Amino acid sequence: MGIRHYLKDIGRGKEGARALDRTQAADLLGQVLDGAVSDLEVGAFCLAMRIKGETPEEMAGFLDAIHQRLPHLPASTAPLVVLPSYNGARKLPLLTPLLALLLAREGLAVLVHGTATEERRASSAEVLAALGVEALAQPQAVAAGSVAYAPTALLCPGLERLLQVRRVLGLRNSAHSLVKLLDPLVPAGAHSIVVGSYTHPEYAQSMAATLALTGACALLLRGTEGEPVADARRTPQMDAYLYGQAQRMQEAQGGPLASVPALPTDIGAASTAAYTRAVLQGEAPVPAPVALQVQHIVALARQMR
């Protein structure tokens, strides 16, 4: 049927654009993910949504389209924690792999997924590879007490293509928000604990509304430079969602920093992997905000059982 009629609704500018309902949004993104539209239409979609902004209903519909196209990932014997890792290290070391391994040590199954969107930043894939965790070659269940890494292209090739549009347009699009909310267990009729992160307050509001609308199980926080791990220097607010019902798990730390943990100044993959090993082996302390995040995720997992 094409997406031209949808573009006419969402492409009228910030004031004149009309929002889509959940079913329309799912149909629109489904056609984009399936490669059923032209490159010009994909670019128009990305720019129109960038200007208009996504409503929670649209985000829910977009997620419906993604979940319909995810591979069937069997549930493990332990709750699955999903860590979307797309921003990488910018100024601080990337501690998403550390969070993943700490959660696995608590007996949870952990799936990290991502793709390279910034060539000059260390990625979770690189840090995990340095720690002996290679990327999955095919979708599979994640065992309790272990960490797996899945490239986005393995989970949803169409979503990977949409993420890469940024390299052409130079602007993020809806896909960059959607990857932080997708739940790989939904096609199997179950729920993961998705650790969603945001960088700006407006994203916190839209993500919270989407998690509530979709009945998700998740932990939402302002992560480190867009990553789903708490800033090692200051504890952020953390809100849990149990089948869409919100509960405050952690208040944000206020006031000046009492102390700054000894983090590596070299944020490359090798240095970050060495620091991660030191923490896991007890040679360096777990940063207090990250330790709290682990506790809250474990507590949420217990509520799901």
- The ranges assigned to domains in the chain are 4-69, 80-304
pLDDT over 70 percentage in the chain: 97
**Most confident option among 98-102, 184-188, 201-205:** 98-102
The predicted pLDDT at position 167 comes to 86
Distance CA 112, CA 152 (A): 10
The residue-averaged pLDDT of 34-52 equals: 94
Report the CATH number of the 80-304 domain. Answer: 3.40.1030.10
pTM of the model: 0.94
Name which CATH class applies to 4-69.
Answer: mainly alpha
Span 59-117, pLDDT tens digits: 999 999 999 999 988 777 789 999 999 998 889 999 999 999 999 999 999 999 999 76
pLDDT level of residue 18 (50, 70, 90 thresholds): very high
The percent of the chain in helix, strand and coil, each rounded to the nearest 5, is 45, 15, 40
Query: Closest by alpha carbon to 157, among 80, 36, 234, 70?
Result: 70
The per-residue pLDDT of the chain, averaged, comes to 93
Query: Closest by alpha carbon to 144, among 103, 197, 182, 201?
Result: 103
Asked if pLDDT for residue 182 goes beyond 80, the answer is yes
Query: Closest by alpha carbon to 270, among 128, 134, 104?
Result: 128
How many CA atoms within 13 Å lie on the side-chain side of 224? 25
Q: Which of 113-122, 196-205, 246-255 has the lowest mean pLDDT?
A: 113-122
Query: Closest by alpha carbon to 210, among 26, 87, 62, 33?
Result: 62
pLDDT over 90 percentage in the chain: 81
pLDDT level of residue 305 (50, 70, 90 thresholds): low
Query: Closest by alpha carbon to 45, among 174, 158, 161?
Result: 174
pLDDT level of residue 262 (50, 70, 90 thresholds): confident
Query: Closest by alpha carbon to 1, among 44, 21, 40, 30?
Result: 30
The predicted pLDDT at position 257 comes to 67
